């Protein structure tokens, strides 16, 4: 019996790889193993679901069983992978052992969690999956038992740790959906790792005008239960300020999930190290998505890199070796208070941001060659035009 191609992970990377495989090969057995239900949904939709008035169940675009049937693959859902033996080509799971001909790691990334003091530190939430979002959604939509204690103040308050891309998307989504929002970050401005400071300031002002309360240059130190009534939690900042909150959301970033890969002896740095064909340091074992580290030490936790990687990997797995090539892939940031599109320069590129015209920022090197750009507002429609300056 032909051993299957096994895919571990049912996120966008896993399911897209299965779909691309079936475009090229209708018969080779494929087994997808996932720790959750395997239902297909768009992960970026998690950070703007409230504004769209979509419940967790409404975010599922295709149930897992239908995905498996459509792609003619075997699905092993709600199954935990406990180990990988690259010598015997065996995946050990809570449901038994499975042998593979080729293995794809689409294990994704996990939220970075920092240690916090306080008796409610364990109640700080992160949203990195539909399951996470279901819990977050429930906390914010369940009947409020403290309205009488609050008097006229009935809005629930969310403290967001992190003013990066995801933190700002959630802030915009929640403030526009009737919640009070405070964002806490040690940086000087929002999305500081991607945006020029001037554009970051515009975003800060735009979301502040909607009601977002910013606290920059400080961090959350402890989270305690509020013993005096009112909001459920008391949040202590390093600055000494205290904020009341119903929910604390940690959005300080993601880190590649390397647990399986490291235990299997695969080369790992910031992610699972892969070559141009997405092969890991072990033969017949490949990786892509948020958990992979591509050339030049890059991790690419965005949708378009996954789509390009999955297409190239499918060709390689079906006997047509295909090196992945990433084109320029601008990132659209879902902050309708100030729409943004960013094409960051490659890591380590020396240069500086310059504003060439209102809403258009260019990252140029010492020779004034454009290496990246950032667009805001109506200028986001010019992404294709501006991108040509980098070709």
> What are the pLDDT digits (tens) for 178-209?
999 999 999 999 999 999 999 999 999 999 99
pLDDT interval class at 148 (50, 70, 90): very low
pLDDT, position 390: 80
pLDDT, position 150: 47
pLDDT, position 229: 56
Q: Which residue has the higher pLDDT, 154 or 258?
A: 258
- Percent of the chain predicted with pLDDT > 90: 88
Least confident of 34-38, 298-302, 349-353: 298-302
pLDDT interval class at 2 (50, 70, 90): confident
**pLDDT at residue 285 above 90?**
yes
Closest CA to 56 of 70, 42, 35, 75: 42
Distance CA(344)–CA(330), nearest Å, equals 8
- Percent of the chain predicted with pLDDT > 70: 96
Helices 303-317 and 12-24, interaxial angle, to 10°?
Answer: 40
Two tokens, residue 256: 């590649």
**pLDDT at residue 293 above 70?**
yes
How does pLDDT run across 226-274, given as a tens digit for each residue?
876 556 899 999 999 999 999 999 999 999 999 999 999 999 999 999 9
Average pLDDT across the chain, whole number? 94
Q: Which domains are present in the chain?
A: 5-47+61-110+255-317 (3.50.50.60), 121-250 (3.50.50.60), 339-390 (3.30.390.120)
pLDDT, position 147: 45
The predicted model gives 280-297 an average pLDDT of 95
**pLDDT at residue 23 above 90?**
yes
**pLDDT at residue 145 above 70?**
no
> What HEC string does the chain produce?
CCCCEEEECCCHHHHHHHHHHHHHCCCCCEEEECCCCCCEECHHHHHHCCCCCCCCHHHEEECHHHHHHHHCCEEECCCCEEEEECCCCEEEECCEEEECCEEEECCCEEECCCCCECCCHHHCECCCCHHHHHHHHHHHHCCCCCHHHHCCCCCCEEEEECCCHHHHHHHHHHHCCCCEEEEEECCCCCCCCCCCHHHHHHHHHHHHHHCCEEEECCCEEEEEECCCCCCCEEEEECCCCEEEECEEEECCCEEECCHHHHHCCCCECCCEECCCCCECCCCCEEECHHHEEEHHHECCCCHHHHHHHHHHHHHHHCCCCCCCCCCCCCEEECCCCCCEEEECCCCCCCCEEEEEECCEEEEECCCCCEEEEEEEHHHHHHHHHHHHHHC
The predicted model gives 358-369 an average pLDDT of 94
pLDDT, position 250: 98
Radius of gyration of the chain from its Cα atoms, rounded to whole angstroms: 22
pLDDT, position 110: 95
The predicted model gives 155-164 an average pLDDT of 96
221 Cβ neighbours under 8 A, 6+ residues apart: 116, 117, 236, 237, 238
Q: Is the dihedral of CA 358, 380, 341, 348 positive or negative?
A: negative
pLDDT, position 31: 98
The predicted model gives 73-100 an average pLDDT of 98
143 Cβ neighbours under 8 A, 6+ residues apart: none
**pLDDT at residue 146 above 60?**
no
pLDDT, position 301: 84
How does pLDDT run across 39-59, given as a tens digit for each residue?
999 999 999 999 999 999 999
pLDDT, position 329: 86
pLDDT, position 391: 64
The predicted model gives 212-222 an average pLDDT of 98
Least confident of 67-76, 303-312, 323-332: 323-332
How many other CB atoms sit within 10 Å of the CB of residue 283?
Answer: 10
């Amino acid at each position: 019996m032909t051993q299957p191609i096994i895919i571990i992970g049912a996120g966008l990377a896993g399911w897209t790889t299965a779909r691309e495989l079936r475009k090229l090969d209708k018969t080779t057995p494929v087994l997808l193993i996932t720790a959750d239900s395997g239902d297909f949904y768009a992960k970026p939709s998690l950070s703007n679901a409230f504004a769209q008035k979509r419940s967790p169940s409404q975010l599922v675009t295709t149930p897992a069983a239908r995905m498996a049937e459509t792609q003619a693959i075997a699905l092993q859902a709600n199954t935990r992978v406990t180990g990988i033996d690259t010598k015997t080509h065996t995946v050990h799971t809570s449901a038994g052992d499975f042998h593979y001909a080729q293995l794809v790691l689409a294990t994704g990334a996990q939220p970075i969690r920092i240690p916090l003091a306080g008796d409610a530190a364990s109640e700080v939430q992160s949203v990195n999956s539909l399951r996470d979002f279901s819990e977050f959604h429930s906390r914010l939509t369940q009947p409020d038992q403290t309205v009488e204690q609050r008097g006229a103040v009935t809005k629930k308050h969310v403290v967001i740790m992190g003013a990066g891309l995801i933190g700002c998307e959630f802030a915009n989504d929640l403030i526009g959906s009737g919640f009070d929002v405070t964002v806490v970050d040690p940086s000087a401005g929002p999305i500081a790792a991607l945006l020029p400071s001037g554009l970051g300031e515009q975003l800060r002002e735009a979301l502040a005008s909607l009601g977002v309360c910013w606290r920059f240059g400080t961090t959350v130190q402890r989270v305690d239960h509020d013993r005096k009534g009112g909001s459920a939690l008391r949040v202590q900042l390093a600055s000494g300020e205290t904020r009341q909150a119903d929910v604390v959301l940690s959005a300080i970033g993601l880190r590649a999930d390397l647990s399986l890969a490291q235990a299997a002896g695969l080369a790992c740095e910031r992610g699972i190290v892969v070559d141009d064909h997405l092969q890991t340091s072990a033969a017949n074992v490949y990786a892509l998505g948020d958990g992979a580290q591509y050339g030049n030490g890059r991790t690419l936790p965005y949708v378009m890199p996954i789509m390009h990687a999955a297409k190239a990997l499918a060709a390689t797995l079906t006997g047509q070796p295909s090196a992945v090539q990433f084109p320029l892939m601008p990132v659209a940031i879902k902050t309708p208070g100030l729409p943004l599109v960013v094409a960051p320069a490659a890591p380590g590129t020396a240069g500086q941001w310059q504003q060439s015209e209102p809403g258009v920022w260019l990252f140029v090197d010492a020779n004034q060659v454009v290496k990246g750009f950032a667009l805001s507002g109506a200028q986001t429609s010019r992404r294709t035009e501006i991108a040509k300056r980098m070709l």
